[in-house]
Structure 1
Amino acid sequence: MIITTFGAIIGLIVAILLIIKKFEPFYCLVFGALVGGLAGGANLVDTVEYMASGAQSMAPAILRVMTSGFLAATLIKTGAVERISEEIIKILGMKKAILGIVLSSMVLAGVGVDLDVVVLTVGPIGMSIGHKLGYSKLAILLAALGGGKAGNIISPNPNTLAAASNFNVELSSVMLANIIPAICGVLVTTILARTLINKGSKIDMEINIEENENLPSLFASLIGPIVSICLLFLGNISSIVVDPLVALPVGAVVSIIATNNLKNTKEYLAFGVTKMQGVCILLLGTGTLVGIIQMSNLQHSTIELLEVMNIPQFLLAPISGMVMSLATASTTGGSTIASSTFSEVILDSGLSGISGAAMVNAGACVFEHLPHGALFHASSKSVSMDITERFKLIHYEILIGIIIVIVSTIIQFVFGF
């Protein structure tokens, strides 16, 4: 049984509309998959079978995401997140405050902290600096968001894990492939944020960020993520390949020891599971829709459309990432659906697995901030910004994402085939 392209598209549209209406994303994706299968010509039994098969294919990614939660939880709970962001901003000083905020967000996202936590951590620090310098909320928030976007495409976060898993390549290689696009993202974010310094509402009250003497040292804060990243990169320089399933928890254990928090290990483990539950549930729901799309003619129809429009087939990688992130307002959702659905076609176009995964992951960062996603609302809360003003940043964020995608595509086209 092959589901029609029409059915797959109808299922995707139904899921998108329900997500926009603020229904629970997991059920939106499952219901969209069910509608897509039935509308595409499959009977109920086959539709459910395809959905279950798609969800089952998400198991390796879900397993790795769950274990990554241990490192993320450790960085958050030990205070390493605050220490890293504070030190970066302190080192760069007030004159380079915007760059400090951008780099702080990039580093936090790059070592495996999810974007919601990044903006909620960096936001108050940026607000404190912004009040002293007379900067606008728009400038502070764009700096935090753009830096996080750049760091997310080179991180061991769920979006990169999903892309690497679906293209069957090493996570470290996908992280490394987008280093230059991430740097370009930092530069563009800094320039755009500086243009907004005097635009929009000012920070009308002083935010007191008290020095916390209980925070770990910068070395203790960074050593865990550094160990994880070094383990991940062993496969690039030797025959020793360490899976994220092992590398990320090892980094968490190192962090716990370095920060003298062994007694809190059980608490951090529990927090890590709680932190990643939502992402893993989203991946399961995404898998049901992926199962329907994979059994449809959508891939072939997409190739035919590219040929009619005279668009090179390898551009399916960044385009699919962008379209799916537009649909889900999630880097994880966009990267997972695009890489699961189109990986085979992208590889057939002549791209290597690393290039395909890197371009899909870059594309998935473009629309992650849209209002039907969680990041939009978490970021507005981080700087106490009203929703009307928050909308004014959307086109700047899209521009940053587009620059990242263009640079990633050029680099992979030139060096990655």
Structure 2
Amino acid sequence: MGALILPWWAALIGLALAIILILWKLNPVYSLMLGAIVGCLIGGGNLVQTINVLIQGSQSVIGTILRVIAAGMLAGVMMESGAADTIARAIVNKLGDRLALFSLAFATMVITGVGVFIPVAVLIVAPIALEVGERMHISKLALLVALSGGGKAGNVISPNPNTIAAAKGFGLELSQVMIADFIPAVVGLIVAVLVASLLKNKGSKVLDADLANLTQETNVKDLPSLGSSLVTPVLAIVLLLLNPIGSIFHIDVLTKLNLDAMYVLPIAAVVGALAMRKGVHLKAYAQAGISRMTDVVMILLGAGMIGALITSSSLPTEIISLIKVSHVSGVFLAPISGILMAAAAASTSTGVILATGSFSKAILGFGVSPLAAAAMVHTGATVIDHLPHGNYFHVTANAMHMEIKERSRSIVYESMVGLSMTIVATVMYGFF
């Protein structure tokens, strides 16, 4: 690429074009690629330099891609084996009807937290939620806010693609980001339950028609025991935390382990499948897992390209100068970039990938530590990532048997959960 420095406005036009194309429903990968190409060319880069920027951007995300692919194995085992379903039902049954909304939110948080994608987590818990809602006369709106809010809380502490992208985007270990986001996640869970409780009698009730096919669907499954279902997530979390524990307690043996998510997640998945006596299905679980991750991997490549366009331009420097002149704390760039990019893509993972790839250089330029930056970007991406131009909005609407108009009512309440986590993360890591 040589010493090519593109003007800031070219990078901004390229990014804006990519976002507009995504909103127009063009495939996100092509949207990001086209935005990067147009930005390079109008900024004065020739064809060779443009290709070099795209290649450099793609290469910068390879480490993240490898870990996302590894996470697919864990997600496949948890989703396809019935382990996630078992854990969710155990939580709801144990906590009982008296704590119905808390149990549903907590169950979705746990399922998402152990590596299941948030739309899938909501799909898993939704039938249980509808059963509880009909019995306890809780509205669908309240149920959805509990599920979605709990899912958002779990999403910031999970080994999911968004957490992996937040970690690798700032050169951190996955476990560091998971630990850093724990307190914001707990606050998010509390807010989700409080808001859902206030909405119990608002919106439509669960009808008998909504429960018509649930019993047949859930009884057919050959669900594993709770003990065996917990093997995969517990093993993954323990192995990921060995290195941080070693650092905290100065245990040399543990600090030297350096167990990366790329090894830990597939190993935990295989051991868990064997513990559930479902080793024969490992091939199918792996296939399901990699299928879930294919879109994320492709988006990572596209985001790497648009990120390279921006880091090859003067835009990060201009942003730093603008914020300094306006006397606004540069700390706010981290959560704001996460909020805006996730809103544009209507996706947590894509939002984190875009924000870290495009603005990490500018954020760190304000003296923000990598861990603080990762926590703020990551939580910021949960604020308005559930807009109608994304698949999460429609998947959850179908899961809860809601019309689009009714589903739209929950957007502002879900945003309260994400915003609460972002505020906590920003105060904790941005100012203390």
* Equivalence for 1:398: 415
CA contact (8 A) 2:22 2:31 kept: yes
User: Distance between the aligned counterparts of 1:347 and 1:9, measured in 2?
Assistant: 19
CA contact (8 A) 2:82 2:221 kept: no
CA contact (8 A) 2:54 2:308 kept: yes
- Residues 238-249 of structure 1 correspond to what in structure 2 (within 5 A)? 238=246, 239=255, 240-249=257-266
- Residues 1-400 of structure 1 correspond to what in structure 2 (within 5 A)? 1-205=4-208, 206-207=210-211, 208-209=214-215, 210-211=218-219, 214-238=222-246, 239=255, 240-400=257-417
User: Distance between the aligned counterparts of 1:380 and 1:309, measured in 2?
Assistant: 42
**1:290 partner letter:** G
User: Gaps (5+ residues) in structure 2?
Assistant: 247-254
How far off is 1:211 after superposition? Answer: 4.4
CA contact (8 A) 2:320 2:365 kept: no
User: Distance between the aligned counterparts of 1:297 and 1:372, measured in 2?
Assistant: 31
1:233-276 deviation line (CA, Å, top 9, x unaligned): 11112212200001101110121111001111111111111111
User: Distance between the aligned counterparts of 2:420 and 2:322, measured in 1?
Assistant: 25
> Which has the higher mean CA deviation after the structures are superposed, 335-344 or 389-398?
335-344
**1:214 partner letter:** D
CA contact (8 A) 1:83 1:217 kept: yes
User: Distance between the aligned counterparts of 1:389 and 1:39, measured in 2?
Assistant: 44
> Which has the higher mean CA deviation after the structures are superposed, 50-59 or 334-343?
334-343
How far off is 1:351 after superposition? Answer: 2.6
How far off is 1:410 after superposition? Answer: 1.1
How far off is 1:212 after superposition? Answer: 5.7
CA contact (8 A) 1:232 1:241 kept: no
User: Distance between the aligned counterparts of 2:220 and 2:123, measured in 1?
Assistant: 17
User: Distance between the aligned counterparts of 1:50 and 1:265, measured in 2?
Assistant: 39
User: Distance between the aligned counterparts of 2:398 and 2:46, measured in 1?
Assistant: 45
Counterpart of 1:186 in 2: which secondary structure? helix
- How high is the TM-score relative to the length of structure 2? 0.93
Q: CA RMSD in A?
A: 1.5
> Which has the higher mean CA deviation after the structures are superposed, 251-260 or 319-328?
319-328
CA contact (8 A) 2:303 2:357 kept: no
1:122-143 deviation line (CA, Å, top 9, x unaligned): 1121111111222111111111
User: Gaps (5+ residues) in structure 1?
Assistant: none
**1:354 partner letter:** L
CA contact (8 A) 2:142 2:196 kept: yes
How far off is 1:176 after superposition? Answer: 0.3
User: Distance between the aligned counterparts of 2:294 and 2:351, measured in 1?
Assistant: 18
Counterpart of 2:230 in 1: which secondary structure? helix
CA contact (8 A) 2:319 2:362 kept: no
- How high is the TM-score relative to the length of structure 1? 0.96
> Which has the higher mean CA deviation after the structures are superposed, 329-338 or 181-190?
329-338
